[in-house]
């Protein structure tokens, strides 16, 4: 079967698996069979942790030499929501109007299918070339991401696996296929600010101590100036107050406590530690007592400095689409934040416009072109 037709078939087969995190629905088995059939050594690894569901993961490799290019992705999907709101059954992999429809077509069964089909085609012709091709596929990206890529990477490392480069197949394209390649991600940090007062009657404020005006002053101080103006490869960092909580149902009571929660998306000018110091400095300047708690950060900002590998990927995209992708660090966090500790990583895939939405779909032409791009990358790399 032609490589691009195989990608479409595999994508549809994966969509028919109801792999809503933490269910696998048979998705990893289908992918594993396809890779095994092509000569990959495959392993299924199940990770557990108290309080979270057990999750299946798949590791596959062909070849023993370097360079070792590994593809990373996930087969789990977010829930479909009300299936009646969809034009087609979200788990049927329907083909209509030049597109495949269904949950996960864009994020990211289409990307997984494209890379697997490209790798199979490459292997059929050249085995693993002079190097190795690998797959790190998890069923826990859309969920808590505890029993997924992070543990799979550690497991592979302890087995002696050493990757030279990684491509994450998340749908990075914005308007058209090939317009965006991600070479980094901003970090994310969550914080809670608590102010204590003294509860009392609203008619006798002199006997109480209202924490709300203090919280407002503290939030003003926290938000007084932008964190930075951006860095050469990153947008400015942003602090967003996402909730102010008092939980007071009464009009005649001054509450005892007020708290606010905030999220910071930060660039490579900051680490969680330097941000913590900055926040404390700003809050101290308001001259009142507060408690600041920052959640442990597992998502620092990172950048894969453009080099010959990013050029190889960029050139392949341009050759197939006529478009030179922008090197971007925008958007949320992804599993690439874990991978970057092991090898340089870039993210490139289809158009994410309908990811997580009703009527998620991906153009067949885009799955085909993406498969050809991945095939070109394999040719050039190995």
Active-site positions? 76, 141
Q: Which of residues 319-378 bind Zn ion (CB under 5 A)?
A: none
Q: What are phi and psi of 347, to 5 degrees?
A: -120, 125
| Closer residue to Zn ion (CB): 24 or 107 | 107
The mark string for 131-170 relative to Zn ion (x by CB under 5 A, - otherwise) is: ---------------------------------------x
Least distance between Zn ion and beta carbon 354 (Å): 13
Least distance between Zn ion and beta carbon 349 (Å): 9
Least distance between Zn ion and beta carbon 98 (Å): 23
3-state secondary structure the chain: CCHHHHHHHHHHHHHCCCCECCCCCCHHHHHHHHHHHCCCEEEEEEEEECCEEEEEEEEEEECCCCCEEEEEEECCECCCCCHHHCCCCCCCCCEECCEEECCCHHHHHHHHHHHHHHHHHHHHHHCCCCCEEEEEEECCCCCCCCCCHHHHHHHHHHCCCCCCEEEECCCCECCCCCCEEECEECEEEEEEEEEECECEECCCHHHCECHHHHHHHHHHHHCCCCCCCCECCECCCEEEEEEEECCCCCCCEECCEEEEEEEEEECCCCCHHHHHHHHHHHHHCCCCCCEEEECCCCCCCEECCCCHHHHHHHHHHHHHHCCCCEEECCCCCCCHHHHCCCCCEEECCCECCCCCCCCCEEEHHHHHHHHHHHHHHHHHHC
Least distance between Zn ion and beta carbon 84 (Å): 25
Which residue do the tokens 């969809």 mark? Answer: 86
| Closer residue to Zn ion (CB): 132 or 333 | 333
- Of 24, 56, 107, 372, the residue at the interface with Zn ion (CB under 5 A) is 107
Q: Which of residues 166-185 bind Zn ion (CB under 5 A)?
A: 170
| Closer residue to Zn ion (CB): 170 or 372 | 170
Least distance between Zn ion and beta carbon 77 (Å): 8
Only segment of 99-107, 179-187, 218-226, 262-270 that touches Zn ion (CB under 5 A):
99-107
Only segment of 47-55, 101-109, 196-204, 320-328 that touches Zn ion (CB under 5 A):
101-109
Which of 65, 66, 45 has the alpha carbon at shortest distance from 54? 45
| Closer residue to Zn ion (CB): 94 or 170 | 170
- Cα–Cα distance between 1 and 7 in angstroms, integer? 10
Least distance between Zn ion and beta carbon 107 (Å): 4
Number of residues counted as binding Zn ion (CB under 5 A): 3
By beta-carbon distance, which residue lies closest to Zn ion?
Answer: 107
| Closer residue to Zn ion (CB): 108 or 260 | 108
**Residue 373 C-beta-side C-alpha neighbours within 13 Å:** 33
| Closer residue to Zn ion (CB): 200 or 350 | 350
Only segment of 103-111, 184-192, 251-259, 317-325 that touches Zn ion (CB under 5 A):
103-111
Q: Does 108 bind Zn ion (CB under 5 A)?
A: yes
The mark string for 32-61 relative to Zn ion (x by CB under 5 A, - otherwise) is: ------------------------------
Residue 260, token pair as written in the block: 């606010």
Least distance between Zn ion and beta carbon 142 (Å): 7
| Closer residue to Zn ion (CB): 137 or 258 | 137
Contacting positions for Zn ion (CB under 5 A): 107-108, 170
């Amino acid at each position: 079967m032609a490589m691009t037709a195989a990608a479409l078939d595999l994508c549809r087969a994966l969509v028919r698996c109801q792999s809503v995190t933490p269910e696998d629905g048979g998705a990893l088995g289908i992918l594993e069979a396809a890779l095994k059939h092509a000569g990959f050594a495959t392993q299924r690894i199940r990770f557990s942790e108290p309080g979270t569901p057990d999750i299946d993961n798949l590791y596959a490799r062909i070849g023993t030499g370097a360079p070792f290019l590994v593809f990373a992705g996930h087969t789990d999907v977010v829930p479909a929501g009300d299936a009646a709101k969809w034009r087609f059954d979200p788990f049927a992999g329907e083909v209509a109007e030049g597109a495949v429809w269904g949950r996960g077509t864009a994020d990211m069964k289409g990307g997984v299918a494209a890379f697997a089909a490209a790798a199979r085609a490459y292997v059929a012709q050249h085995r693993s070339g002079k190097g190795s091709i690998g797959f790190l596929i998890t069923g826990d990206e859309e969920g808590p991401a505890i029993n997924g890529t992070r543990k799979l990477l550690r497991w592979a490392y302890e087995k002696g696996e050493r990757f030279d480069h990684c491509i994450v197949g998340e749908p990075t394209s914005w308007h058209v296929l090939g317009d965006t390649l991600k070479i980094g991600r901003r970090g994310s940090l969550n914080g809670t600010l608590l102010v204590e007062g003294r509860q009392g009657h609203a008619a006798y404020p002199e006997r109480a101590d209202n924490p709300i005006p203090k919280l407002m002053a503290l939030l003003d101080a926290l938000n007084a100036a932008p964190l930075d103006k951006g860095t050469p490869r990153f947008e400015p960092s942003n602090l967003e107050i996402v909730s102010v909580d008092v939980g007071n149902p009464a009009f005649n009571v001054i509450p005892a406590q007020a708290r606010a929660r905030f999220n910071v998306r930060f660039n490579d000018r900051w680490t969680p530690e330097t941000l913590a110091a900055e926040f404390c400095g700003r809050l101290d300047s308001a001259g009142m007592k507060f408690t600041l708690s920052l959640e442990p950060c597992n998502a620092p900002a990172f950048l894969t400095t453009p080099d010959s590998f990013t050029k190889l990927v960029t050139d392949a995209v341009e050759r197939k689409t006529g478009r030179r992708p922008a090197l971007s660090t925008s958007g949320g966090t992804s599993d690439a934040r874990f991978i970057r500790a092991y090898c340089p990583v870039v993210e490139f895939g289809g158009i994410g416009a309908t990811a997580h939405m009703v009527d998620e779909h991906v153009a067949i032409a885009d799955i085909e072109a993406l498969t050809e791009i991945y095939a070109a990358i394999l040719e050039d790399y190995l």
